[in-house]
Amino acid sequence: MSVASPPNPSLALQSKRWNGLRHVLEREGLFCKDDFTPSPDNLEFLQTKCKVLIIGAGGLGCELLKDLALMGFGDLHVIDMDIIELSNLNRQFLFRRTDIGASKAECAARFINNRVPTCKVTPHFCKIQDFDESFYQKFHIIVCGLDSIVARRWINGMLLSMLRYEEDNSIDVASIIPMIDGGTEGFKGNARVILPGFTACIECTLDLFPPQVNYPLCTIANTPRLPEHCVEYVKLIQWDKESPFGAPLDGDDPQHIAWIYERAQERANQFNISGITYRLVQGVIKHIIPAVASTNAVIAAACAMEVFKLATSCYDSMANYFNFNDLDGIYSYTYEAEKSDSCLACSNAPQLLTIEDPNTTTLEDVIKELCELPRFQLKSPALTTVMADGKQRTLYLASVKSIEEATRKNLTQSLGELGLQDGQQLTITDVTSPTAITIQLKYQANEIEMS
């Protein structure tokens, strides 16, 4: 009885399934880049050497994995911290009903590995924040299929922090890891190419993202008018008060969602509010964005094409923002988003924060501006500074209970009372960035005397 020999990678590369790619990678064309060299080595690079990281294994991520695997990429990694839910199955086609409750990254990787023998997908069931720069340095290209602005900003900051500079302050090109970012919302979507340090980054165009919906706590607690108000009340107040399961709220736990649904329905009945549904509760708890399978397919295809062009240098990459809308017919256009000289992440200069009157502006006012201004949009900033005597001082830090209690009194003090001068720099850390950012206070009238 003969024993089957293991598959030969070189034979796999010669398969007829790659003839279409060979036409592109082994022949010259009118639109090829000047530095492109047609060669069979290009396909071999895709299959055996090029490492691509896909962040997110949801609607976009499933499409990206399928597209890149079928385009010849042989070494893919995927990160996702979520588990599969029943509502995912209508558009996240790599999953089946038997996969419900399992890791998205692991199930997606297993599906692709079984269906595309020339591709190996390595799953990572965790958060992107669980890895440091040594992990991200392994990849040639990173492509994002995220539904979180915070996660986008974090990976954007990570890639910028990995840049190396020459003696003349120019960027070492070898340290650049391109990022392709895709996003969808209903029948609208976008794709963009980011070359860290050279093109507009996520923070440069932060105002393009839709603002997060936040409901005033006083309205939620006293005069609810919408079904969303009832859900937020249970989420923010009743959950902590009653602690039904003795654990933090988990938006992926059906028991947790069911409990919030029942309590929200009770509160809605109390205020004669209609419209509470299980799906609405899920949407409010997890900030679910409406998704359409066809939009995901279009945007993922655009992202995959840019990954292919960057990996092979066969054509110029997109410059640099693609917008798609098929709400009324099909409409798309591409434009070049400009790099901002005052970008919070990729500019070297401290960001100015204008203060009208330091004697009436409190530290709490400053934190509120950092969270609400479109160019900052921080989540829970921690502020430190170096005082005139050279000592470092923590102004406020919410993440550590003992420090929060010790610095809480600073929130109600004015900048003048805290001894913060015009031009003073504040160092700020936040979940939106893996590195600290610097803010410089700019007082409107220097003639204002400090208290």
CATH superfamily of this structure's domain 9-186+291-318: NAD(P)-binding Rossmann-like Domain (3.40.50.720)
d(C-alpha 152, C-alpha 130), whole Å: 15
8 A C-beta contact, residue 334 and residue 422: no
Whether residue 192 has pLDDT greater than 90: yes
Distance in angstroms (rounded) separating the CA atoms of residues 143 and 364:
37
Contact (CB, 8 A) for 289 and 295: no
Residue with tokens 């692709």: 112
pTM to 2 decimal places = 0.78
Length of the chain: 451
pLDDT in tens, 169-184: 788 888 999 999 999 9
C-alpha angle with apex 300: 298 to 304, nearest 5 degrees? 120
Q: Strands, DSSP E only, in 110-250?
A: 120-124, 141-144, 179-185, 188-194
The answer to whether 449 and 416 are in contact (CB under 8 A) is: no
Tens of pLDDT along 410-443? 988 998 898 888 888 899 988 888 888 888 888 8
Burial class of residue 47, CB neighbours in 10 A (0-12, 13-18, 19+) = buried
R_g (Cα) of the chain, nearest Å: 25
- Strands 425-429 and 382-386 turn out to be antiparallel
**Mean of the per-residue pLDDT values of the chain:** 86
Q: Residue 119 catalytic?
A: no
CA count, 13 A, side-chain hemisphere, 377: 24
pLDDT digits (tens, 9 = 90+) for 323-370: 999 888 899 999 999 888 878 788 767 788 888 888 888 998 898 888
d(CA 147, CA 150): 9
**pLDDT per position as a tens digit, 269-320:** 999 998 899 888 888 887 666 778 899 999 999 999 999 999 998 898 998 8
Confidence band for 213, pLDDT divided at 50, 70 and 90? low
Model pLDDT, residue 5 = 47
Tell me whether strands 75-79 and 51-55 are parallel, antiparallel or unpaired. parallel
Model confidence pLDDT, tens digit, residues 38-91 = 888 999 999 999 999 999 999 999 999 999 999 999 999 999 998 898 878 888
pLDDT at 6: 46
Distance (Å, rounded) from C-alpha 430 to C-alpha 449? 32
113-135 pLDDT per residue, tens: 999 999 999 999 999 999 999 99
| Integer CA distances (angstroms), 38 to 312, 316, 345, in order | 10, 15, 37
What's the mean pLDDT in 249-266? 89
Element (H, E) at 222: helix 217-222
Query: Could you tell me the CATH superfamily of domain 217-286?
Result: Ubiquitin activating enzymes (Uba3). Chain: B, domain 2 (1.10.10.520)
Fold of 351-443: 3.10.290
Which of the four pLDDT bands, split at 50, 70 and 90, describes residue 246? confident
Map out the domains of the chain as residue ranges. Answer: 9-186+291-318, 217-286, 351-443
Candidates 32, 50, 218, 314; catalytic one: 218
For residue 226, CA distances in Å to 22, 74, 219, 262, 273 come to 57, 50, 10, 16, 7
More confident position, 260 or 290: 260
